[in-house]
C-alpha cells in the first residue's frame, strides 16, 4: 500500500489530470488525504483498507483553532497532555497462512477488542497515571467504548515494544511516559464506527467514507479501526500534528454479495452449483463442489452495498481516492469519467468530486483458468507466524504456549514478544523456556533464543503482569515459547456477570525489529498480534453466599459449644448424675398430672 | 435438684438447728435411691471458674472490640447545627454597603456637606431594602491624591453646575455626571432640596436593577423573611426569573467554542482568530477580573441542522441544533462551555419573532437567537462558492455573540459597562454565597436523614473550609475578595457534597446482618451465658454453705 | 451366605410369630386385606365410602371415624402399614386382652384422633384432605411405646446432650412427612398425640372396667370358643416387666442403654434395614413422585428456536462426498487422510493431523487423526465447538454416512457469519483411542511419546457432538449416547436441547440407553435406568464423545436408528440446530445437572434423590464394622451362651490389633497383583490367565485361613477385628465412591452384602438355635466349611465376572481386553475398585468365614 508513492503520482497527475486543482492543492499544503486500497485475497476474500490523514500545524493546535483536526479529540489531547496517541479497535483475526502479510505491516492493527497506547507529558508516574485516567475516560465518552475500564490492573508501561512514531524534540523526550492499556473483552461494533466517522472532515457524506457502512464493516471476517496521532516535523517546514485514521477490513465476497434483506445462506439451486464435472459420479443430483476460488468477480456496489459518492473536496486531489491491486492481466471496468492510473500491480482511479465511482471486476477470463495465481496477486509471506494457546486443563494452574515460526529460509528474525496479563494469572517465570521444535532441550547457549527479558510482576488487584522478551529465531525454525501460571481465586464481587464464560487475556504483541535500522529508520519492521485467550477461573456458586456463611458459622458454633462444654462440665458416674433440667421438670409435671388422673379415676 | 453434700460436713448436716433441718428436708425431696457424686476437688472448681472467666475475658476484651472496629461505619462529625444555620441564613445576612463619592468641586465644603446629608436622607427615605443600601461620602478635593476610600467606591457622582438638572452615565468608568441649576444648591438651613431628591432618584434608578436582582436571589433562596425585600412586583420577578434561568451557573472559567457549520463542502476555512481579537477581546479583557475565558474554534462541513425546513419558526429554533451529529461536546476541562455557532446555510428565521423574544439589538436579530445556558446560533447567509470567511464577514456575528455573552453571564442589562460589571460581581457573590450555604444545608440534612452512610474526614474538612470562607465572604460582601471567598466556599461545598465514597456500593439491610450473625453468635452465646449463670449459682451456693458451716461451728 | 447366620432371623421364627398372632390383630389384618380386595372392583368405591373426609363428617357418617384406618390407598400403602402396625397391635392386644383392644380400637383410640383431625383440619386449617390407613394406629401405638420406653430409660445421649427418648416418634413422624409423599402429617400427628396421652395413662379410664370384661368372658366362654383369644387375665403386663406407673431406676440414662445386650444384637438388623431400604429406594425412583421432568435451565441455549436451512443442493454435495468415501473403503488410515485433507482444505478450513500409538493388552492401537478448524469470522480463537466423526463406531461399523454429513455440514457452516465460536471437525480412525488422543493433546495432558501434539489449536472447548451414522437409508429416530468414562455424564442441558431439537422441532423420535421402544411406564423406566447404571458402573467409553467429558467438555453421540422417513439432511438439521444452540451459549454449560439418572428422555432423577440408596448400602458395612469393634471390646462369651445377664459387665478387655491389621494389610497389598496382571498381560494370554487366577482365587481363602490358624491361632475377638477393619475400609471406599460413580459403588455394595453377615463358621451354630453344641461334630463342621467356601467363591469377583459374561454372552477374554484398553487409553478406574476395594474385602471376609477361633470350644460349650 505504501509503495504507490505520491510523488510519482503527483508528477503524473499534474501534467495530465486537473492542472488547476493540482495548483490549488499545492497551496493547501496537502492538509487532508484519503485513499481506499482494494486487494483481492485468496479464498474469495477482499481486503479493503481505508486511510484518512489530516494535519494541523502545532501553533494552530495550541491556539485551539481546529479545521481538519477534530476539535473533540484535540481538546482531549490538550487536556490530558498527550504527545502521541494510538487507538485500535479490532475484531476477528488475520489469517496469515492464506492471506499472507498484514496491511501496513501490522502497524495499524491491534489485538481483539480495544487497544490504546499513548505518550503522555508527565514528570512523575502519579501525574502520568492521573493524565492517563482522564485520557481513557474522555476517549471512552468520545468513542462509546468502555475504555474507562482500562484501570491500573490493565495498564502497563512497555519498555522494549513501542517507540514513538512521531518526531519529538529531544528536550521533551525525558518527560514523555508511555502507557499501554488493552481491553480484550470489548466487543467492537457499529456504535464505535459512528464517532470514528464523525472525526472525518467530510463525515460520511462524501469521498470514500461513503462506502463505510456498519453492517458491511461488522460482517467482515477481519476488521481493524486505528487512530494514530503524532507530531510530524518535515525537514525545514513547521511541525504539524498529524491524525491518521485507518480502517482495514477483509470481506468475504460471497457473504458480502448477499443482498442485505436476505442474509441467510440458503443452499442455492442444484443448477447454480459449480461442480467438478470431471468426477465420474457427477450427475444432476450429485455434485462435487468446485467453488473454492470462485466469487472473484464483484463490483464496488455489490461489496459495499452502494457506490462511492464523489470525492471529499477537502482532500488533496493529487492522491487518487481508490486504488485496486490486481495483476495487469485482470480486466477492470469503471464508469466513464474515471481516470485510471496504471502502475505495476496496482491501478488507481481518479474521479471528479461530483461523479460517483463504480468498479466492476468480471469473472477471471479463460487465460486465468490455470489457478488462483493469475486473477489475484500472490500474497506475500510475513516474516513470522505466531500462534498462542493455553495448555493444561483444570482450574488451578495452566500454561501458555506460543508457537513462533520463521518462514524465511535464510534470514533470522529478531523481535520483542510482549505479554500484559491480568493479575489473577500468576505466571511462574522460572518455567518460561523457548525451545526449537526438534531439539527437545532448550537451544544451545552460544546462540540463545531469548536475548533479553523484562519482567514486571503483578500485584494483586493493583496491576497486571508485564512480560517482554526479546528473542531471535534462526532461519526456517519453529520455536515453542512456553510458561506456566497459576489461577488465583477472586472475591465474589470481582466476577463479571457471566463468570462461567471465563476471563479474556489480552493478545500478545510481537514487534519485529527492523534489522537495517539507522538512526531515523523505522523501529518496527512488522507487528503481529496473537489471538486473545479465554482463561476460566474457579467459579463459585453465586446463589450461595449466605448459605455458606450460615453453614460455616453454625459449624464453628457447634465446635465451640462442644469444646466449651467438655472443658466446663463436671463428669460424674452415670448413676450419680442428677436428671437434666428438662427431665426434672417433666418429672414434676408427671407427678402432678398423675395425681389429678388418680383422683379422676377414684371418682369413677 | 438436690445439693451434693460433701462428706466433710455430715456433722453440720445432722446437727440440730432450723437451717440444717430445712437442708435435710430439701435433700429428702429428691429420690432417696440416688447416690451422690463424690465432692469436687476445690482445685477443679477453681479451674472451671478460671476457664469460664477467661472465655468471657476473651469475648469482652478481644471479640467485641474487634467486631465493633471491623463493622462500624466511620462518620466524621459535622457541625450540623451551624450548617443548618447557614442554610437558613441565620448565620449571615447579606448586606451590600455601596460607597458613593460625590465630587462637587464647585461647591464649598459646607454646602457640599449639607447636600450630602440631605441626599442621604432622601435615599434612606426611598430605600426599602435593608440588604442593599447606598452610603454617600464626599470625595476629597482633586488636589489630594485619591486614597483608599476612593478605590472601593462603587460610583462617583460628579456635580457640575449647569443650567438644568441632567444626569448622564459615563460609558467608560463608574461616574455619574449631574449638572444642576445654580439655584438648586440647598442653603445650610433648608431641610429639603430639589437637587438632593433629584440625585437620590438618579442613584436609585441606577441601582434599581441590581437591587431587584439581589432581592430576587434572596427571595428564591431559603433566607428568612425579615431580610427579604418588601415589594417585588410579579412581572419584574418573572423577568428576573427568566434572566436567571437563561444565565449560566457561575464558574471562574468559561470555555468559548466558536464553530462554523456549513451545510455543504464550502466554506471550509475562516479567520476567526483575527475576528475574535478585533471584536470580542475588549469585552473579555474587561470581564477578566470576574471570569477567565478559554477559546477554541472548529470548522464542520456537511452539517445538517436538526430541522430540515427552510424557514425556521419559533419552535424550530430550539431543535435546530443537531445534537446527534454536531460535535459540540462540552469541553472536558470542567469549565462550562458556551457555544457560538455560525451556521452557513440557506435557512432563515420567520419574521421578527426572534427579536421580540430575546430583546436583541440591531438587525442581527433576524439571524441569531440565544439558547439559554448553552450559547448562540447565528445564521450567516453567504453567496455560493465562498471558500473562505474573512474577518470582516464575521464582524456582525461576533458583536451579537458579545452581547449574548453578557446576558449569558447574567450581567444586568442597563447602565454603563463598568457599572454593569461591578453589579455583576456583587450579584455573583450573593448568588454564590446563597448557593454554598444551601448546599451545606442539604448536606447536613442528608447526614441527618441517612444514619448508615459513612462520612469520610475529607467531607468534614470540606465543610469547615466552606464555612470559613463563607464567613469571610459574608464580612467582605460586595467587594472583590468577597467574591473570591464565595467562589472558594461554593467549590468546597460542592466537593464535600458530591464526595463519592459517601455512597456505599454494598447495602446490607439489618435483617441480612441478623441472618449472618445469629447462627454464629446465638449458639456461641448460649453455652457461654449458661456456663456463667451456673458458675454464679454454684458460687453463691458455696458461699451459703460456707456460711452454714460457720454457723454450725458457732452453734457447737 | 445363608440367612440363619443372621442371629435371630429365620423363616421358622417368622412362621411361628405369624401363627401366634392374637385374635383381634388377625381380625384387623383380615379386615384391611378384605377392604383392599373390595377396593379392587369399581362398582362400589370403598375409599370414598370409608375415608375420613372432614366435610363429610355428619351424624350418619360417623362410621367413617372407625372405618378409615382399615382402608388404604393402594397395595404398597397397605403393606407398609401392615408391617408397622401388626407387631405393635399384637403387642398391645397381648398386653390388654382382646376385648379391651376391640373396645378401644373401635372406640376412643380411633375416634378421638379422627375427631381431633377433623376439628383441626376443618376448623383451624379450613382444608379438607381425606385421610385413610392404619398408620394412624401405628403412630398411636408408637407414642404409647415411646412413653413407656421413656419411663425405663429417659435419655439417649448424643455427644454431651441428653435427648429424651419420647421424642423418637416425632423424629419418625418428620421423616415420614419428609420422605413419603402424600402422607398426612396432621393425621399422624394427632395419632401420635393421642398415643402419648394414652401412654401417660390419662385416658386409661376409657378402657372398659375389668369386672365387666371378666363377666363377659365368663358368660360367653370366649377364651374357650375363640382361638387365639387373649383373655383379660392372661394378659401380660408390660413385656419388660415394667408397669407404666412403676418407679423404675429413676436415674436411667444412656449408660444402661449402652450396656443393654439388645444394643449389641441390633446392628445386624440395622444394616439389613439399610440394605433393604437402599434397594427399595432404588426401585422407587422411577415413580413420578421421585423422578422429575427434564427442563432447560440455561436460557441462553434457546433450543429449537432457530430455523434450520440445511437442505436443498447440499444433498448433492453430500452424495458427492459419500462417493468419495466409498472410493476410500478399505484404504489405510493414512491414505484416507491423504485423500480427505485436500477436500477439507478446499472448504476453507485449517487442517492438521495427529499421530497416536497406544500399547494395550499386548497389541498396539495406532492411527492418525485428521482435524480441521473453521475459524469463526469476527471472533478470535477463544471458544470452540467440536464435531467428531469417527471412521468406525464402537461396534466397528464404518461410519459411512457420518463423515460425508460432517463434511457437508462444515461446508454449509462456512457460509454463515454468525458463529461466535470456532468449529472444529475431528475425523478419527476409531471411536475410542482417536478421540482420546486428540482431546488429551488438545489439553496437553498427553504423553508425547505415544501421542503427538497438535500443531494448530483453537480456544476452550464448549461442547462436542459426535456423529455415529453407519446405517444406510432413511432412519426414524435419534439415539443419544451420553455415558462418559468412569460414569461421568455431560450436562443435562445438552441432552435436553438435543431432545428438544430432534423431538420437538424436527419431530423425530429420541431414544436413550438403546431402549428402542419406550412406553413411559414403570418397567421401561426402570429398565432404562438400570441399563444406564450398568453402563456407568462399568465405566467404559461408549462412544467418541466419552473422551471429552473428563475434561469438562459436554458431549454426546448422536446415532440415527430405525426405519423411517427421515433422511441425512434431517440428521444434518438436528446437528445444525444443536450447534446453533451451543453457539448461543454465553457461558460454559453450568446451569443444569451433572449427576443424574435418566429413565426416559424427559424424566430424570438428580443426585440428591438417588444418592441415599448407595449411601445406605455403603453405610451398612460401616455400621457392622463399628458394632464389631464394640463387640470385640466385650469379654468373650458374654454375648454367647444361653442365659444372658440383663446387663453386660462394664469391664472391657484388651484388643490386640496387630494380627488383624496385618491380615487386612496383607489382603489389601495382595490386590496389587491381579490389578497389574490383568492390565499388562498380553491379549492372547488373558483367558488362560483368568482361568488360573480363578482357580487360585478359590483356593486362596482356605490356604490363608489354614496358615493363619496354624501360625497365630487367632481368637474370636481377632476375627471380629479382621472383619471390622475390612468392612470399615469397604464402607469408607464405597461411600466415597458413591459420590463419584454412584452405580459402581452400588453394584459393589450389593455383591458384597454377604460380607456383612458372615462370622466364623464354628460360631454359627451357637447363634442359630437349630443345632445344639453336642451335634457340632467335626464332620458337619467340615461340611459347612466346604459349603461356605463354595458359597464365598460364588460371590468372588472372578465368579461374578464370569456370571456377567455368561449373562450377556460375551467372552471373558474380550471383556478383559476391553478393560485393559480402557485402562491404558481412557484411564478407567473400574479395575482399581474391583481389585483394590472389592477383592480384598472379599478375601478378608472368606478368611474370617473359614476361621477357627481359639477358645471357641469354651465359648460354644457354655
CB contact under 8 A, A268 and C312: yes
Q: How confident is the model at residue C237 (pLDDT cuts 50, 70, 90)?
A: very low
CB contact under 8 A, C445 and A392: yes
Q: Residue C422: pLDDT above 90?
A: yes
Which DSSP helix (H) or strand (E) runs through A592?
helix A581-603
CA distance, residue A578 to nearest chain B CA (Å): 7
**Range 249-268 of C in CB contact (< 8 A) with A:** 249-251, 253-256
| Nearest one of C62, C313, C122 to A268, comparing CA atoms | C313
User: Rounded to an integer, what distance in angstroms lies between the CA atom of residue C341 and that of residue C370?
Assistant: 7
List pLDDT tens digits, range C583-636.
Answer: 998 888 888 889 999 999 999 999 888 998 999 999 999 999 988 888 887 765
Shared domain check, A206 and A97: yes
As a whole-number percent, the residues of chain C with pLDDT over 90 amount to 32
pLDDT, residue A578, reads 58
pLDDT, averaged across chain A: 81
pLDDT, residue C839, reads 93
Q: How confident is the model at residue B92 (pLDDT cuts 50, 70, 90)?
A: confident
- Separation of first and last alpha carbons in chain C: 26
CA distance, residue B542 to nearest chain C CA (Å): 25
CB A407, CB A476: distance < 8 Å:
yes
Q: How confident is the model at residue A392 (pLDDT cuts 50, 70, 90)?
A: confident
CA distance, residue B46 to nearest chain A CA (Å): 11
Alpha-carbon distance values, B512 to B515, C119, C516 (Å): 5, 39, 53
Shared domain check, A117 and A76: yes
Q: Which domain holds residue A487?
A: 385-543
As a whole-number percent, the residues of chain B with pLDDT over 90 amount to 2
**Range 108-167 of A in CB contact (< 8 A) with C:** 112
List pLDDT tens digits, range C449-484.
Answer: 889 988 888 888 999 999 999 998 899 999 999 999
Identify the residue with better confidence: B50 or C257: B50
Report the residue of chain B nearest C251, measured CA to CA. Answer: B34
Name the one residue in this structure whose C-alpha cell is 398372632.
C21
Name the one residue in this structure whose C-alpha cell is 483575527.
B274
List pLDDT tens digits, range B365-396.
Answer: 467 888 888 888 888 887 777 778 888 888 88
Does B308 touch chain C if contact means CB atoms closer than 8 Å?
Answer: no
Shared domain check, A366 and A326: yes
Amino acid at each position: 500500500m505504501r509503495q504507490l508513492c505520491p510523488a510519482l503520482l503527483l508528477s503524473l497527475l499534474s501534467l495530465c489530470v486537473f492542472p488547476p486543482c493540482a495548483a490549488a492543492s499545492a497551496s493547501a499544503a496537502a492538509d487532508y488525504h484519503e485513499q481506499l486500497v482494494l486487494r483481492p485475497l485468496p479464498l474469495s476474500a477482499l481486503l479493503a483498507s481505508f486511510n484518512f490523514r489530516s494535519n494541523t500545524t502545532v501553533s494552530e493546535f495550541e491556539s485551539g483553532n481546529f479545521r481538519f483536526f477534530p476539535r473533540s479529540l484535540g481538546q482531549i489531547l490538550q487536556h490530558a497532555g498527550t504527545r502521541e496517541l494510538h487507538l485500535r479497535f479490532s475484531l476477528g483475526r488475520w489469517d496469515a497462512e492464506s492471506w499472507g502479510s498484514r496491511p501496513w505491516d501490522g502497524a495499524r492493527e491491534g489485538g481483539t477488542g480495544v487497544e490504546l497506547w499513548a505518550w503522555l507529558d508527565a514528570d512523575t508516574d502519579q501525574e502520568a497515571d492521573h493524565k492517563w485516567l482522564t485520557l481513557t475516560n474522555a476517549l471512552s465518552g468520545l468513542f462509546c467504548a468502555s475504555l474507562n475500564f482500562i484501570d491500573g490492573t490493565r495498564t502497563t508501561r512497555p519498555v522494549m515494544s513501542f517507540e514513538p512514531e512521531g518526531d519529538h524534540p529531544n528536550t521533551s523526550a525525558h518527560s514523555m511516559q508511555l502507557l499501554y492499556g488493552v481491553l480484550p473483552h470489548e466487543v467492537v461494533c457499529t456504535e464505535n464506527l459512528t464517532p470514528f466517522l464523525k472525526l472525518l472532515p467530510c463525515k460520511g457524506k462524501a469521498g470514500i467514507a461513503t462506502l463505510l457502512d456498519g453492517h458491511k464493516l461488522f460482517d467482515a471476517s477481519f476488521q481493524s479501526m486505528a487512530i494514530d496521532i503524532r507530531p510530524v516535523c518535515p525537514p525545514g517546514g513547521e511541525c504539524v500534528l498529524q491524525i491518521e485514521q485507518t480502517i482495514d477490513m477483509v470481506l468475504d465476497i460471497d457473504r458480502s454479495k448477499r443482498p442485505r434483506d436476505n442474509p441467510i445462506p440458503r443452499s442455492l439451486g442444484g443448477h447454480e452449483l459449480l461442480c467438478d464435472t470431471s468426477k465420474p459420479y457427477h450427475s444432476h443430483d450429485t455434485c462435487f463442489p468446485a467453488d473454492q476460488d470462485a466469487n472473484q468477480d464483484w463490483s464496488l456496489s455489490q461489496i459495499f452495498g452502494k457506490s462511492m459518492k464523489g470525492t471529499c473536496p477537502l482532500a488533496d486531489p493529487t492522491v487518487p481516492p481508490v486504488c485496486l491491486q490486481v495483476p495487469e492481466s485482470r480486466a477492470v471496468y469503471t464508469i466513464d469519467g474515471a481516470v485510471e492510473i496504471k502502475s505495476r500491480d496496482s491501478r488507481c482511479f481518479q474521479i471528479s468530486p461530483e461523479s460517483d465511482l463504480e468498479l466492476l471486476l468480471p469473472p477471471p477470463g479463460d487465460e486465468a483458468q490455470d489457478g488462483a495465481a493469475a486473477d489475484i496477486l500472490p500474497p506475500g509471506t510475513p516474516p513470522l507466524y505466531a500462534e498462542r494457546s493455553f495448555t493444561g486443563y483444570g482450574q488451578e494452574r495452566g500454561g501458555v504456549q506460543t508457537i513462533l515460526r520463521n518462514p524465511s529460509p535464510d534470514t533470522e528474525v529478531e523481535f520483542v514478544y510482549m505479554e500484559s496479563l491480568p493479575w489473577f494469572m500468576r505466571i511462574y517465570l522460572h518455567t518460561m523456556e523457548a525451545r526449537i521444535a526438534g531439539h527437545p532441550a532448550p537451544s544451545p547457549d552460544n546462540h540463545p533464543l531469548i536475548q533479553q527479558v523484562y519482567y514486571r510482576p503483578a500485584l494483586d488487584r493493583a496491576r497486571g503482569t508485564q512480560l517482554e522478551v526479546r528473542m531471535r529465531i534462526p532461519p526456517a525454525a519453529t520455536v515453542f515459547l512456553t510458561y506456566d501460571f497459576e489461577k488465583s481465586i477472586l472475591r465474589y464481587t470481582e466476577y463479571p456477570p457471566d463468570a462461567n464464560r471465563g476471563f479474556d487475556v489480552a493478545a500478545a504483541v510481537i514487534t519485529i525489529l527492523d534489522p537495517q535500522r539507522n538512526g531515523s529508520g523505522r523501529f518496527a519492521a512488522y507487528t503481529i498480534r496473537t489471538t486473545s485467550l479465554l482463561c476460566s477461573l474457579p467459579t463459585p456458586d453465586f446463589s450461595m453466599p449466605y448459605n455458606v456463611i450460615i453453614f460455616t458459622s453454625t459449624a464453628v458454633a457447634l465446635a465451640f459449644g462442644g469444646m466449651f462444654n467438655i472443658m466446663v462440665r463436671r463428669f460424674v458416674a452415670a448413676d450419680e448424675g442428677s436428671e437434666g433440667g428438662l427431665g426434672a421438670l417433666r418429672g414434676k409435671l408427671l407427678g402432678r398430672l398423675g395425681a389429678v388422673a388418680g383422683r379422676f379415676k377414684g371418682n369413677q | 435438684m438436690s445439693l451434693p453434700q460433701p462428706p466433710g460436713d455430715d456433722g453440720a448436716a445432722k446437727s440440730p438447728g432450723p437451717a440444717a433441718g430445712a437442708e435435710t428436708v430439701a435433700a429428702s425431696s429428691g429420690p432417696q435411691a440416688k447416690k451422690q457424686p463424690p465432692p469436687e476437688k476445690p482445685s477443679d472448681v477453681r479451674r472451671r471458674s478460671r476457664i469460664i472467666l477467661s472465655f468471657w475475658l476473651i469475648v469482652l476484651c478481644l471479640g467485641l472490640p474487634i467486631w465493633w472496629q471491623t463493622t462500624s461505619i466511620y462518620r466524621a462529625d459535622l457541625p450540623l447545627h451551624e450548617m443548618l444555620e447557614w442554610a437558613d441564613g441565620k448565620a449571615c445576612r447579606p448586606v451590600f454597603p455601596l460607597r458613593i463619592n460625590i465630587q462637587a468641586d464647585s461647591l464649598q465644603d459646607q454646602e457640599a456637606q449639607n447636600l450630602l446629608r440631605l441626599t442621604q436622607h432622601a435615599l434612606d427615605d426611598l430605600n426599602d431594602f435593608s440588604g442593599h443600601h447606598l452610603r454617600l461620602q464626599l470625595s476629597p478635593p482633586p488636589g489630594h491624591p485619591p486614597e483608599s476610600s476612593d478605590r472601593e467606591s462603587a460610583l462617583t457622582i460628579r456635580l457640575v453646575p449647569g443650567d438644568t438638572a441632567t444626569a448622564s452615565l459615563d460609558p467608560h468608568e463608574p461616574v455619574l455626571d449631574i449638572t444642576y441649576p445654580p439655584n438648586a444648591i440647598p442653603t445650610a438651613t433648608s431641610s429639603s432640596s430639589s437637587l438632593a431628591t433629584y440625585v437620590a432618584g438618579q442613584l436609585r434608578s441606577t441601582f434599581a436593577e441590581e437591587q431587584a436582582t439581589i432581592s430576587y436571589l434572596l427571595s428564591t433562596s431559603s433566607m428568612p423573611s425579615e431580610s427579604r425585600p418588601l415589594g417585588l412586583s410579579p412581572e419584574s420577578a418573572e423577568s428576573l426569573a427568566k434572566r436567571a434561568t437563561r444565565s449560566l451557573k457561575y464558574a471562574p472559567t468559561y470555555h468559548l467554542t466558536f464553530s462554523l457549520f456549513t451545510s455543504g463542502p464550502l466554506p471550509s476555512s475562516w479567520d476567526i482568530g483575527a475576528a475574535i481579537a478585533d471584536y470580542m477581546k475588549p469585552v473579555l479583557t474587561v470581564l477578566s477580573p470576574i471570569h477567565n475565558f478559554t477559546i477554541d474554534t472548529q470548522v464542520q462541513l456537511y452539517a445538517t441542522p436538526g430541522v430540515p425546513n427552510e424557514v425556521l419558526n419559533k419552535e424550530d429554533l430550539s431543535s435546530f441544533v443537531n445534537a446527534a451529529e454536531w460535535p459540540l461536546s462540552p469541553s472536558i476541562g470542567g469549565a462550562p462551555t458556551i457555544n457560538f455557532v455560525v451556521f452557513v446555510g440557506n435557512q432563515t428565521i420567520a419574521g421578527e419573532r426572534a427579536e421580540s423574544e430575546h430583546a436583541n439589538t440591531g438587525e442581527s436579530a433576524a439571524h441569531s437567537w440565544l439558547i439559554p445556558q448553552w450559547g448562540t446560533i447565528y445564521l450567516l447567509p453567504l453567496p455560493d462558492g465562498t471558500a473562505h470567511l474573512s474577518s470582516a464577514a464575521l464582524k456582525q456575528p461576533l458583536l451579537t455573540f458579545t452581547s449574548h455573552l453578557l446576558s449569558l453571564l447574567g450581567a444586568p442589562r442597563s447602565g454603563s459597562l463598568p457599572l454593569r460589571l461591578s453589579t455583576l460581581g456583587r450579584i455573583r457573590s450573593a448568588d454564590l454565597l446563597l448557593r454554598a450555604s444551601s448546599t451545606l444545608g442539604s448536606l447536613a440534612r442528608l447526614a441527618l436523614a441517612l444514619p448508615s452512610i459513612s462520612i469520610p474526614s475529607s467531607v468534614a474538612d470540606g465543610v469547615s473550609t466552606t464555612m470559613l470562607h463563607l464567613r469571610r465572604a459574608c464580612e467582605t460582601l460586595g467587594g472583590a475578595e468577597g467574591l473570591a471567598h464565595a467562589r472558594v466556599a461554593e467549590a468546597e461545598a460542592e466537593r464535600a457534597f458530591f464526595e463519592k465514597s459517601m455512597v456505599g456500593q454494598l447495602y446490607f439491610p439489618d435483617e441480612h446482618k441478623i441472618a449472618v450473625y445469629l447462627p454464629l453468635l446465638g449458639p456461641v452465646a448460649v453455652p457461654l451465658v449458661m456456663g456463667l449463670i451456673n458458675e454464679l449459682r454454684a458460687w453463691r451456693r458455696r458461699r451459703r454453705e460456707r456460711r452454714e458451716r460457720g454457723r454450725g461451728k458457732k452453734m457447737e | 451366605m445363608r440367612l440363619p447366620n443372621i442371629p435371630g432371623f429365620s423363616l421358622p421364627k417368622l412362621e411361628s410369630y405369624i401363627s401366634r398372632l392374637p385374635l383381634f390383630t388377625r381380625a384387623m389384618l383380615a379386615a384391611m386385606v378384605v377392604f383392599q380386595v373390595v377396593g379392587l372392583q369399581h362398582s362400589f368405591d370403598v375409599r370414598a365410602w370409608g375415608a375420613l373426609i372432614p366435610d363429610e363428617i355428619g351424624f350418619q357418617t360417623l362410621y367413617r371415624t372407625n372405618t378409615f384406618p382399615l382402608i388404604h390407598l393402594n397395595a404398597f400403602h397397605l403393606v407398609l402399614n401392615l408391617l408397622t402396625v401388626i407387631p405393635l397391635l399384637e403387642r398391645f392386644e397381648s398386653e390388654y386382652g382382646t376385648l379391651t383392644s376391640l373396645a378401644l380400637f373401635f372406640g376412643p383410640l380411633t375416634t378421638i384422633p379422627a375427631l381431633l383431625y377433623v376439628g383441626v383440619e376443618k376448623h383451624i386449617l379450613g382444608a379438607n384432605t381425606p385421610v385413610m390407613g392404619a398408620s394412624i394406629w401405628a403412630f398411636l401405638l408408637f407414642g404409647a411405646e415411646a412413653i413407656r420406653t421413656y419411663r425405663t430409660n429417659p435419655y439417649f445421649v448424643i455427644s454431651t446432650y441428653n435427648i429424651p427418648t419420647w421424642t423418637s416418634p416425632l423424629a419418625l413422624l418428620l421423616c415420614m412427612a419428609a420422605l413419603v409423599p402424600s402422607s398426612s402429617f396432621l393425621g399422624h400427628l394427632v395419632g401420635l398425640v393421642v398415643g402419648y396421652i394414652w401412654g401417660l395413662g390419662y385416658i386409661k379410664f376409657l378402657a372398659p372396667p375389668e369386672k365387666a370384661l371378666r363377666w363377659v368372658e365368663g358368660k360367653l366362654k370366649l377364651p374357650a370358643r375363640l382361638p387365639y383369644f387373649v383373655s383379660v387375665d392372661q394378659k401380660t403386663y408390660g413385656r419388660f416387666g415394667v408397669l407404666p406407673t412403676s418407679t423404675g431406676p429413676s436415674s436411667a440414662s444412656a449408660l444402661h442403654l449402652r450396656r443393654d445386650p439388645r444394643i449389641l444384637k441390633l446392628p445386624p438388623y440395622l444394616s439389613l434395614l439399610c440394605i433393604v431400604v437402599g434397594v427399595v429406594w432404588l426401585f422407587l425412583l422411577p415413580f413420578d413422585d421421585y423422578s422429575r421432568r427434564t427442563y432447560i435451565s440455561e436460557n441462553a441455549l434457546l433450543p429449537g428456536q432457530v430455523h434450520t436451512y440445511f437442505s436443498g443442493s447440499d444433498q448433492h454435495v453430500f452424495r458427492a462426498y459419500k462417493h468419495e468415501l466409498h472410493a476410500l473403503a478399505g484404504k489405510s488410515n493414512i491414505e484416507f487422510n491423504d485423500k480427505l485433507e485436500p477436500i477439507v482444505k478446499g472448504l476453507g478450513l485449517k487442517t492438521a493431523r495427529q499421530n497416536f500409538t497406544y500399547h494395550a493388552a499386548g497389541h498396539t492401537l495406532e492411527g492418525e487423526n485428521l482435524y480441521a478448524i473453521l475459524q469463526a469470522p469476527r471472533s478470535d480463537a477463544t471458544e470452540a465447538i467440536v464435531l467428531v466423526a469417527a471412521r468406525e463406531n464402537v461396534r466397528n461399523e464404518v461410519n459411512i454416512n457420518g463423515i460425508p454429513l460432517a463434511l457437508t455440514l462444515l461446508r454449509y457452516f462456512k457460509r454463515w457469519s454468525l458463529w461466535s465460536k470456532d468449529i472444529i471437525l475431528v475425523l478419527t480412525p476409531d471411536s475410542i483411542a482417536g478421540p482420546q488422543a486428540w482431546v488429551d493433546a488438545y489439553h496437553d495432558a498427553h504423553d508425547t511419546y505415544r501421542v503427538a501434539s497438535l500443531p494448530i489449536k483453537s480456544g476452550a472447548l464448549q461442547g462436542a457432538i459426535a456423529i455415529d451414522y453407519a446405517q444406510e437409508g432413511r432412519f426414524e429416530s435419534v439415539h443419544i449416547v451420553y455415558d462418559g468414562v468412569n460414569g461421568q455424564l455431560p450436562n443435562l442441558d445438552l441432552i435436553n436441547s438435543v431432545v428438544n431439537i430432534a423431538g420437538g422441532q424436527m419431530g423425530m423420535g429420541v431414544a436413550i440407553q438403546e431402549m428402542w421402544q419406550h412406553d413411559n411406564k414403570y418397567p421401561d423406566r426402570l429398565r432404562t435406568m438400570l441399563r444406564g447404571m450398568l453402563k456407568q458402573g462399568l465405566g467404559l467409553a461408549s462412544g467418541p464423545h466419552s473422551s471429552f467429558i473428563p475434561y469438562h467438555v459436554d458431549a454426546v453421540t448422536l446415532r440415527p436408528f430405525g426405519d423411517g422417513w427421515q433422511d441425512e439432511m434431517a440428521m444434518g438439521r438436528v446437528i445444525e440446530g444443536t450447534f446453533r444452540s451451543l453457539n448461543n451459549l454465553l457461558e460454559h454449560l453450568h446451569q443444569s445437572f451433572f449427576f443424574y439418572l435418566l429413565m426416559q428422555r424427559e424424566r430424570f432423577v438428580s443426585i440428591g434423590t438417588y444418592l441415599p440408596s448407595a449411601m445406605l448400602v455403603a453405610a451398612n458395612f460401616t455400621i457392622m464394622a463399628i458394632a464389631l469393634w464394640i463387640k470385640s471390646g466385650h469379654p468373650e462369651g458374654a454375648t454367647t451362651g444361653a442365659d444372658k445377664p440383663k446387663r453386660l459387665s462394664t469391664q472391657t478387655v484388651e484388643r490386640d490389633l496387630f494380627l488383624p491389621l496385618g491380615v487386612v494389610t496383607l489382603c489389601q497389598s495382595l490386590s496389587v497383583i491381579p490389578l497389574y496382571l490383568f492390565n499388562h498381560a498380553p491379549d492372547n494370554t488373558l483367558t488362560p490367565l483368568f482361568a488360573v487366577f480363578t482357580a487360585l482365587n478359590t483356593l486362596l481363602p482356605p490356604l490363608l485361613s489354614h496358615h493363619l490358624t496354624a501360625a497365630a491361632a487367632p481368637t474370636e475377638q481377632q476375627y471380629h477385628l479382621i472383619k471390622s477393619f475390612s468392612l470399615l475400609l469397604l464402607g469408607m471406599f464405597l461411600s466415597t465412591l458413591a459420590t463419584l460413580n454412584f452405580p459402581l459403588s452400588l453394584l459393589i455394595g450389593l455383591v458384597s452384602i454377604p460380607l456383612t453377615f458372615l462370622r466364623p463358621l464354628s460360631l454359627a451354630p451357637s447363634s442359630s438355635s437349630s443345632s445344639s453344641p453336642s451335634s457340632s461334630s467335626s464332620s458337619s463342621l467340615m461340611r459347612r466349611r466346604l459349603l461356605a467356601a463354595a458359597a464365598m467363591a460364588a460371590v468372588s469377583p472372578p465368579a461374578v465376572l464370569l456370571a456377567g459374561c455368561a449373562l450377556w454372552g460375551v467372552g471373558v477374554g474380550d471383556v478383559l481386553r476391553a478393560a485393559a484398553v480402557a485402562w491404558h487409553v481412557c484411564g478407567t478406574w473400574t479395575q482399581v475398585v474391583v481389585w483394590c476395594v472389592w477383592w480384598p474385602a472379599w478375601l478378608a471376609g472368606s478368611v474370617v468365614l473359614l476361621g477357627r477361633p481359639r477358645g471357641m470350644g469354651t465359648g460354644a460349650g457354655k
